[in-house]
Amino acid sequence: MLLSLFGLMFWALVVAVPVWIFAGLFPALLSALCVVVFAHMRNLWQLQRMARWLSGTDLLADGRWRGIWAEIVQRIQRLLVQREKQVAVARHRLQRFLEAIQASPDGVTLLDDQGRIEWCNDMAAKHLGLDAQRDLLQHVVHLVRDPVFSKYFAQDAHDSEVLIEGRSNSLSQHVKLSVHLYAFGEGQQLLMTRDITSVSLADAMRRDFVANVSHEIRTPLTVLSGFVETLQTIPLAEEERQSYLHLMSVQAERMQSLVADLLTLSQLEGSLPPGKHEKTPVPELMAQVFSDASALSAVLSGHEGEERGPVHELVFEPAPAWIFLGVRSELLSAISNLVSNAVRYTPAGGRIHVKWSRNTDWVTFSVTDTGPGIAPEHLPRLSERFYRVDRSRSRETGGTGLGLAIAKHVAQRHGGELRIESQVGVGSTFMLVFPASRMEYMDGETSSVSL
């Protein structure tokens, strides 16, 4: 600007001095004034041009500016380029931040100072049943119709979280949400939601587990305590004393079985999945299972040691010449539990059919009985610990209530699953399904072991 002022003075002098010499002072001053007016008019024109340029849409276009105006335009354009870069970086960071929030397993909802929804991620929409676009600027209390949440939102302080019912697409599934409000900015709030359904279920299962274990152990302990007190205080004949000692032994064995099953479950849940280095011949395994099943059938019928043997029709198809690649003790435990359950719950004279089958992808061990069958509403929970359809019947047969849970865990650890099919009044089929890669053929043809 200073150079432009000197330039204007220079040109005024260049014009005025010759005129002063040849025409006098007044024409010289008039000439200098004309130069100044011309320069001023030219600056006004440049200012108007600059104003039009600034109001345009393309400020980076080359307008062929000259002199000081070219320098001004260049500086403005440099500032614009820097600002666009800063905006692009900020937009990219915001997009990354929103993507991170979208990927969060927790729901995030931004509320304005009136409690209206400014933004929410997909998880919050799923938790609270919102529409991320349609419900913008709607009051959150009008959309989350839960008395607990309404009361919590109306509080002045939100130091702790509350639990509310979440939205679910299934009528049978109840979703539990943990909700917490955080204040930020000028009266704005951050609503965080977290699905704690699995935590609630785990906590309920833990409470049920402790209660069931306590109940299962308390019963035999009560019996043992009563018999001990009787033996200590009342003189008994030898025959009565032996009878009491036998009953005490039965209760002790029941507790030992329960503890053994609990330890088995603990080991299954706390160890790494088994590899395929251990090999178990299926024919030898099934021979042991058949022997145990026959003995159990005789024990339950009260004919152990007699020639009559088991009172169930035990049909074991010839064991295939396969080798199971996995932990032998786990497989034996799972199979024995399924077969023993069939023996325990099938009335005398009933039929128990055991077989192995195979297709391209899977190998299946199945136990089919002609017992009373199981109602459909019980099937999803049969593999839960201590879950029983008929508790009194379970105690009579001597089960611990952990056999199916053990079988399920063994199947899952070997890449398979436990499947159950049943019909009331007809019978049940329990299946252990393993990947075909867990089996390999023995040398030679099908095993000649007949059960």
DSSP string, 147-178: HHHHHHHHSS---S-EEEE---S-SS---EEE
Radius of gyration of the CA atoms of the chain, in A: 44
State residue 51 phi and psi, 5-degree precision: -65, -45
Distance CA 381, CA 374 (A): 11
What range does the domain containing 433 cover? 272-451
Distance CA 190, CA 115 (A): 10
| Same domain, yes or no: 133 and 88 | no
| Same domain, yes or no: 266 and 283 | no
- Whether the CB-CB separation of 159 and 152 falls below 8 Å is answered with no
| Same domain, yes or no: 265 and 280 | no
- Residue that finishes a domain, picked among 241, 271, 301: 271
Distance CA 208, CA 407 (A): 20
Report how many domains make up the chain. 4
DSSP state of 317: P
Side-chain-facing half-sphere of 279: CA atoms under 13 Å: 9
- Whether the CB-CB separation of 342 and 430 falls below 8 Å is answered with yes
Give residue 129's identity as a one-letter amino acid code: G
- Residue that finishes a domain, picked among 163, 195, 227: 195
User: Domain of 397: which CATH number?
Assistant: 3.30.565.10
Query: Cα–chain-centroid distance for residue 143?
Result: 26
Token pair recorded at residue 34: 């004309």
| Same domain, yes or no: 54 and 119 | no
| Same domain, yes or no: 327 and 434 | yes
Side-chain-facing half-sphere of 78: CA atoms under 13 Å: 6
DSSP for 253-302, written as a single string: HHHHHHHHHHHHHHHHHHSPPP-S--EEEHHHHHHHHHHHHHHHHHHHHT
| Same domain, yes or no: 288 and 317 | yes
- Residue that finishes a domain, picked among 172, 195, 218: 195
User: Domain of 217: which CATH number?
Assistant: 1.10.287.130
Query: Cα–chain-centroid distance for residue 15?
Result: 89
DSSP state of 319: P
| Same domain, yes or no: 119 and 187 | yes
Q: What integer pLDDT is reported at residue 290 of this predicted model?
A: 92
User: Which of 159, 112, 163, 161 is closest to 139 using CA atoms?
Assistant: 112
Surface-to-core class of residue 155, CB atoms within 10 Å of its CB (0-12 exposed, 13-18 middle, 19+ buried): exposed
Phi-psi region of 331 (alpha: psi -120 to 50; beta: other; left: phi over 0): alpha
| Same domain, yes or no: 327 and 345 | yes
Residue 107: C-alpha distances to residues 101, 129, 132, 235 (Å): 8, 11, 12, 71
Contacts with 351 (C-beta within 8 Å, 6 or more apart), sequence order: 312, 313, 315, 369, 370
| Same domain, yes or no: 222 and 365 | no
User: Which of 112, 132, 134 is closest to 122 using CA atoms?
Assistant: 132
| Same domain, yes or no: 185 and 72 | no
- Specify the pairing of strand 362-369 against strand 322-325: unpaired
| Same domain, yes or no: 230 and 377 | no
Site of tokens 């697409």: 169
| Same domain, yes or no: 185 and 255 | no
Does the reported pTM lie above 0.85?
no
Q: What integer pLDDT is reported at residue 450 of this predicted model?
A: 38
List the chain pLDDT tens, one digit each, 451 residues.
444 556 666 666 666 677 677 766 777 777 777 777 777 677 777 777 777 777 777 776 666 777 777 777 788 878 888 888 998 988 889 888 888 888 888 999 999 999 999 999 989 988 888 888 888 899 999 888 889 999 999 988 888 888 888 876 555 567 889 999 999 888 899 999 998 888 887 777 777 777 777 777 787 788 888 888 888 888 888 888 888 888 888 788 778 877 877 787 777 776 777 888 889 999 999 999 999 888 888 876 554 444 455 688 899 999 899 999 988 988 998 999 899 889 988 888 899 999 999 988 999 999 999 989 888 888 888 887 777 776 554 445 556 678 888 889 899 989 999 999 999 989 999 999 999 999 988 764 444 333 4
Q: What integer pLDDT is reported at residue 449 of this predicted model?
A: 37
